[in-house]
Structure 1
């Protein structure tokens, strides 16, 4: 999921709705039906992920790249819906920990959905992703939470 230039990133953003739809369609119907872009839907996704992937290496393997990509894009859309902001990328600063990775840029900072998803596999709580989002939502300025 590393992106090397602005044009590739623009195309990646453009593809988001279709990729998320295809990802949801690839999941068992009982899971996909619950992915409604709510904060609680993140727990449904994370539980499914931890039931199907035992390690970060497993989900980041080439054969599972579409699951990781689809999950990260879905998580990003939920974060955007609740925090505002936009997709962004830093392709210039190689010292940036998220160099060449899509991130959510919001009023409460930068979040890399790919990192959040992969960390959830390692933590295995079933609610790590939603905990990250809820913590960020608490930091939103008052005029954005109404």
Structure 2
């Protein structure tokens, strides 16, 4: 597996994934404290998150530095939350078996059609593209393409 910068963020077992899930609120609260307030739960909140990230990091490599991984992880968690709450049947998942999977050992949001979106990959792509609305654009599109939660 090529080094994509995500190696240190990959989880190694279902137990580790369950621990990661259990720490979700705490991790996001730490991010909201850095931002100065809690973010909303809709796609529009992702523009504010993206502005914060673009201000903080010149590029994805800076966000993946060891000392910044908690912030990047929390940003991915918030992005995933928007997807999970916006799409009926979307759930957090992880692939611990298929070493050829691009998201092997990374938390993903499993969509109702079986496809997966990796919020960490979305966050780093937003830092690479630097548009300011990448996260909301992608998640908004995904929500439109699936049955939405009301």
TM-score, length basis structure 2: 0.88
Residue 104 of structure 2 corresponds to residue 127 of structure 1 = no
Q: In the TM superposition, what whole-angstrom CA distance separates every residue of 1:9-68 from its partner, at most 9, and x where no partner exists?
A: 1111111111111221122x2xx34x1112101000001111111111111111111110
Which SS does the other structure have where 1:66 is aligned?
A: helix
In structure 2, distance between residues paired with 1:51 and 1:6: 34
Find the counterpart in structure 2 of residue 49 from structure 1.
53
Contact 2:87 2:146 in 1 (8 A): yes
Instruction: Please list every run of 5 or more consecutive structure 2 residues that lacks an aligned counterpart in the other structure.
Output: 1-8
Instruction: Please list every run of 5 or more consecutive structure 1 residues that lacks an aligned counterpart in the other structure.
Output: none
In structure 1, distance between residues paired with 2:83 and 2:12: 24
In structure 2, distance between residues paired with 1:20 and 1:52: 17
TM-score, length basis structure 1: 0.90
Which SS does the other structure have where 1:100 is aligned?
A: coil
What's the CA shift for 1:139?
A: 1.1
What's the CA shift for 1:145?
A: 5.8
Residue 104 of structure 2 corresponds to residue 93 of structure 1 = no
In structure 1, distance between residues paired with 2:139 and 2:16: 27
In structure 2, distance between residues paired with 1:26 and 1:130: 20
Residue 86 of structure 2 corresponds to residue 82 of structure 1 = yes
Of 11, 24, 27, the match for 1:3:
11
Pair 1:10–1:145, CA change in 2 (3 A): closer
Larger mean Cα displacement after TM superposition, 39-48 or 15-24: 15-24
Find the counterpart in structure 2 of residue 12 from structure 1.
20
Of 23, 26, 51, the match for 2:31:
23
Higher relative helix content: 1
Which SS does the other structure have where 1:98 is aligned?
A: coil
Find the counterpart in structure 1 of residue 5 from structure 2.
none
In structure 1, distance between residues paired with 2:77 and 2:23: 10
Which SS does the other structure have where 2:116 is aligned?
A: strand
What's the CA shift for 1:106?
A: 1.4
Q: 4+ residue runs of structure 1 moved beyond 3 angstroms?
A: none
Matched residue count = 140
